[in-house]
Structure 1
């Protein structure tokens, strides 16, 4: 016959496994772990929302755009330094080009895209951003996004597309075919 041994020899003399002090300690640890877990989940849930809103919505992400002598720098929002390629169905796109380094990055990426468009305004062709873009083909919407910069590169299946853009409530439309990399919409 095996004799059971007490747990009390493993615990300090003033604490037992089911003492009030041990229960309170466990409750505190569970509460702290719950708070840490909730914070991590909340942070993870907010991260994709920021990415979906685009780089212009990231607080404190002002780049060299405000210091660059690019045309109409006052009319363009603060943009994160890294331009993200986004995909919507069969279409991928990236927008940027306010600062000189962004224009250079877009020029490097241009060979991977088959449509390019530039948004500007006025007689001096000042760059603009925050343009709502809708890409349609045969009356069907293929992609919709907000341009975070004046230059957008688009990769789409071969064919002709209508680009419907809206800036400050004013619509503009242009018809482009794949292979067109220098289309421009001016308000």
Structure 2
């Protein structure tokens, strides 16, 4: 074997090793950050596995309103309950025998009749950042809509619980 042949083989081996190391470290970084390799690069809007740290589900934005919802897993439930003191409005959705519900359509209307939020909950808890004021919260589960008036005055102050006797 000539020196050029050995150098070429060595360079090819080093290149292959570097590429493998790069791919491996990328997969490791995705795993460490909680990104599923199958969904990497997709815009996931669900709360499972898409957290802002400490188990809190992804914070969404609609117009001037920020919100997050979830609470299906124990870590997420604890994070949402812990964080409700920092959010102006906290909502809870339950069904028969205090079962937690998800898939509740939530609409929040301001005091002057303008809709400020329209979304679907990803779990039994929803936290909403609204400016101080009076609002009406409409929560619809299956075909039953309920409403409650809330007065938002600051973080951790306004809470509303919605309960349905249907499954």
Rg (Cα) greater in structure: 1
Contact 2:71 2:123 in 1 (8 A): yes
1:35-78 C-alpha deviation (Å, 9 max, x unpaired):
xxxxxxxx86xx23x33xx34xxxxxxxxxxxxxxxxxxxxxxx
- For 2:104, which of 112, 131, 142 is the aligned residue? 131
Look up the SS of the partner of 1:182 in the other structure.
strand
TM-score in terms of structure 2 length: 0.63
CA RMSD of aligned residues (A): 1.9
Task: State whether structure 2 residue 141 is matched by structure 1 residue 167.
Answer: yes
- Residue number in structure 2 paired with 1:183: 160
| Structure 2 Cα separation of the partners of residues 147 and 165 of structure 1 | 10
TM-score in terms of structure 1 length: 0.57
Give unmatched runs, 5+ long, in structure 1: 1-42, 56-78
1:83-118 C-alpha deviation (Å, 9 max, x unpaired):
101111121111111222112211332233110010
Structure 1 residues 126 and 181: alpha-carbon distance in aligned structure 2, compared to 1, 3 A threshold: farther
Using the TM superposition, give the Cα deviation of residue 160 of structure 1 relative to its aligned residue in structure 2, in angstroms. 1.0
Give unmatched runs, 5+ long, in structure 2: 1-39, 52-56
Higher relative CO (Cα under 8 Å, sequence separation at least 6) belongs to 2
Contact 1:81 1:102 in 2 (8 A): no
| Structure 2 Cα separation of the partners of residues 182 and 84 of structure 1 | 20
Runs of 4+ in structure 1 off by over 3 angstroms are: 179-182
- Residue number in structure 1 paired with 2:82: 108
Look up the SS of the partner of 1:149 in the other structure.
coil
Aligned residues: 116
